Amino acid sequence: MENIKTMDRITFDYVIVGAGAAGSILANRLSEDGKHSVCLLEAGGKDWHPFLHIPAGFIKVLFNPSYTWQFSSEPTDWTNGRRVPLPQGRTLGGSTSINGLVYNRGQRQDFEEWAASGNEGWSYAEVLPYFKRNERRLGAADPTFRSADGVVPVSDIAWKHPICEQFIAGAQGLGMPLNPDYNGETQAGVGYYQRTIRGRWRMSTARTYLAPARKRHNLSILTTARATKVLFDGKQAVGVRYVRGAGSGEQEVSARREVIICSGAINTPKLLQLSGVGPADFLRSMGVQVVHDLPGVGENLTDHYSVRLVASARNIVTMNELARAPRLWGQIANWLFDRPNILSLSPSLVHWFWSSRSGQSRPDLQGVFSPASYREGYVGMLDTFPGMTCGVWQHRPYSKGSVRIVSRNFRDLPHVQPNYLADERDRATLVGGMKIARRLLETPELSQYVNTETLPGKHVQRDDELLDFARRFGVSSYHVNGTAKMGLAGERLAVVDSELRVHGLRNLRIVDASVMPQMPSANTCAATMMIAEKASDMILGRAPLTPETKFIDMGLASGKPFLEVAPDAA
């Protein structure tokens, strides 16, 4: 409920900043026993627009400033001087209300590395029960890894386009095993994506966690409430200053126990820096009074930089035509009557997880395939011709970036520099992935539907030509993370400890994708929800869920050959 009116200050046990993937979960979990008062601040509005709930509506809201923060990267030579769009959710549910709906946890080794770097309690065995507590699997799955008893529905694709079936068959012919559950025993292979969709509807954290909790007397949800500063008494966080609407004055809310920042990997470091927490010399250069010198705030940024190869199609109708009148009217009718339709699909239908080169123990590439294509490879406007897309990105990029405020004005967007492709290893991996994507579009099984490659085009063959195409047409996968990383006290860039408490400060935690010490081999939403579920037990002082150890190593399926890529054509 929303019950705070204009007042000097009101006090809650917990103040949560951001109602996204993590904040919505925490608001539910911290208020569910009725013993603690919780205030949830969300800068965006309510999630009332139908496009926030119809899966295909993402294409209408992703770049709409009414529902998203319109961040972008700073230009570099490796993006051909372009600013790469980095939209983030700005409504109840955050990016779970506007994302591509893919549910992808990552690989076992991702979390083993988190724990090995000193983050006690974050091994795969220890996070698996929290993945399960979050998930309500709607399809068949191995209970060793999956759960049908959680909160967020995770479903299989009901409508399988013939092009997708032939793409999967072609990938198998090239050596990729069919993998119906990449969130299970092993990630490697090819198959259909799992999505946070139930029936016709997107299942955001606003819908699955906030909606059941909204009427609780001890939970107050404030929309259009933009946090401007965390308030401190010495080194102790005591509240949050915020504004509601462009013309309103600043208001404050106090936290009796903790302030918990869940604003995402761009807005979280921005808010910390505006509040005087971050690299001291930089803060002073911005005219910000230093509360606590913490060099890692805003550093360690990573993101998935993706490239899409496009082919025009023949002998079949693709989603490009189905999304336009008159065929669109039939699809809308199918959606209304809950029959298979394109409005209930996620943008990416088929996955392939593989390696850019042989000799590796686990995939370093994530690929996508859809019987649709976007103009010049960007998400936003479908091509006018029948088309298909095979995209790829590197799982764990070496290139690191940063987020920095540009002034003391909270309304100014921060400087975001992911440094895409700055590391030579990232460039080599992505080019290897592009070669695999091209081979997947050239299989005999798919040939009956492929007319010609339109992007980058057959004239682009050499490694340097493929890399130049990636520079000019690569885009973000919207998986920014790591800007308030978890690590040991004294570690140069560590911002929070293994219980997500900010080093050197009291009563302040961060719970979102910012805290990821290394990037998971996945879309970041599932791991962010897991982090929030685990954090709720930490905050309430509950014993962690019992680790689960009945599993097999999540690596490449044994005995399966790699899909070798062709050498440089130069």
pLDDT tens sequence across 373-405: 988 756 668 999 999 999 999 999 999 999 999
What is the structure's pLDDT at 417? 99
| Residue 9: pLDDT band with limits 50, 70, 90 | confident
Residue 81 tokens read as: 């001087």
415 is catalytic: no
What is the structure's pLDDT at 432? 98
The answer to whether residue 2 scores a pLDDT higher than 60 is: no
> Which CATH number belongs to the domain containing residue 531 in this structure?
3.50.50.60
Domain identity same for 390 and 458 = yes
Report the distance separating Cα 191 and Cα 164, nearest Å: 9
What is the structure's pLDDT at 268? 99
Other CB atoms within 10 Å distance of the CB of residue 9: 12
> Is 428 in contact with 360 (CB distance < 8 Å)?
no
Range of the domain at 328: 158-192+305-396+421-473
Q: Is 432 left (phi over 0), alpha (psi -120 to 50) or beta?
A: alpha
Q: Is 219 a domain residue?
A: yes
Mean pLDDT, to the nearest integer, of 4-20? 81
Q: For the chain, how many structural domains are there in total?
A: 2
What SS3 class is residue 451?
strand
Mean pLDDT, to the nearest integer, of 148-155? 98
Q: Per mean pLDDT, which range of 16-25, 92-101, 537-546, 557-566 is the poorest?
A: 557-566
- The whole-model pTM stands at 0.95
pLDDT tens sequence across 293-316: 999 999 999 999 999 999 999 999
Nearest to 129 by CA among 543, 484, 433: 543
Q: Is 544 a domain residue?
A: no
What is the structure's pLDDT at 65? 96
> Is 240 in contact with 259 (CB distance < 8 Å)?
yes
| Residue 176: pLDDT band with limits 50, 70, 90 | very high
Q: Could you give the C-alpha distances from 320 to 206, 387, 492, in angstroms and in order?
A: 30, 7, 49
Mean pLDDT, to the nearest integer, of 214-221? 97
Domain identity same for 318 and 261 = no
> Is 562 in contact with 175 (CB distance < 8 Å)?
yes
pLDDT tens sequence across 83-135: 999 999 999 999 999 999 999 999 999 999 999 999 999 999 999 999 999 99
Q: Is 326 a domain residue?
A: yes
Q: Is 96 a domain residue?
A: yes
What is the structure's pLDDT at 540? 98
Domain identity same for 337 and 361 = yes
Residue 309 tokens read as: 């190869």
Cα 121 versus chain centre, distance: 22
Domain identity same for 426 and 414 = no
Residue ranges with strand state E in 381-437: 387-394, 402-404, 415-417
Domain boundary among 451, 473, 495: 473
Domain identity same for 373 and 514 = no
Percent of the chain with pLDDT over 90: 90
Other CB atoms within 10 Å distance of the CB of residue 182: 27
Domain identity same for 325 and 368 = yes
> Which CATH number belongs to the domain containing residue 350 in this structure?
3.30.410.40
Q: Is 554 a domain residue?
A: no
Report the distance separating Cα 555 and Cα 135, nearest Å: 22
Report DSSP state, residue 259.
E
Percent of the chain with pLDDT over 70: 95
Mean pLDDT, to the nearest integer, of 182-211? 97
> Is 98 in contact with 87 (CB distance < 8 Å)?
yes
List all residues 6 or more positions away from 550 whose beta carbon is below 8 Å from its beta carbon.
144
> Is 205 in contact with 96 (CB distance < 8 Å)?
yes
Report the distance separating Cα 380 and Cα 389, nearest Å: 14
List all residues 6 or more positions away from 334 whose beta carbon is below 8 Å from its beta carbon.
340, 341, 343
Domain identity same for 503 and 523 = yes
pLDDT higher for 377 or 351? 351
- Which amino acid, residue 566? A
Of the candidates 292, 304, 351, 479, the residue annotated as catalytic is 479
Report the distance separating Cα 130 and Cα 321, nearest Å: 41
| Residue 358: pLDDT band with limits 50, 70, 90 | confident
Domain identity same for 460 and 490 = no
What is the structure's pLDDT at 569? 37
The answer to whether residue 501 scores a pLDDT higher than 50 is: yes
List all residues 6 or more positions away from 285 whose beta carbon is below 8 Å from its beta carbon.
none
Domain identity same for 293 and 314 = no
CB burial of residue 97 (10 Å; 0-12, 13-18, 19+): buried
Mean pLDDT of the chain: 94
Q: Is 122 a domain residue?
A: yes
Domain identity same for 409 and 311 = no
Q: Is 231 a domain residue?
A: yes
pLDDT tens sequence across 264-294: 999 999 999 999 999 999 999 999 999 999 9
Domain identity same for 114 and 238 = yes
pLDDT tens sequence across 248-264: 789 999 999 999 999 99
Q: Is 457 a domain residue?
A: yes
Report the distance separating Cα 337 and Cα 84, nearest Å: 39
Domain identity same for 27 and 80 = yes
What is the structure's pLDDT at 130? 99
| Residue 564: pLDDT band with limits 50, 70, 90 | low
- Which amino acid, residue 533? E
The answer to whether residue 457 scores a pLDDT higher than 90 is: yes
Q: Could you give the C-alpha distances from 568 to 380, 415, 465, 505, in angstroms and in order?
A: 32, 37, 10, 52
Instruction: Name the strand (E) or helix (H) holding 28.
Output: helix 23-31
Other CB atoms within 10 Å distance of the CB of residue 272: 31
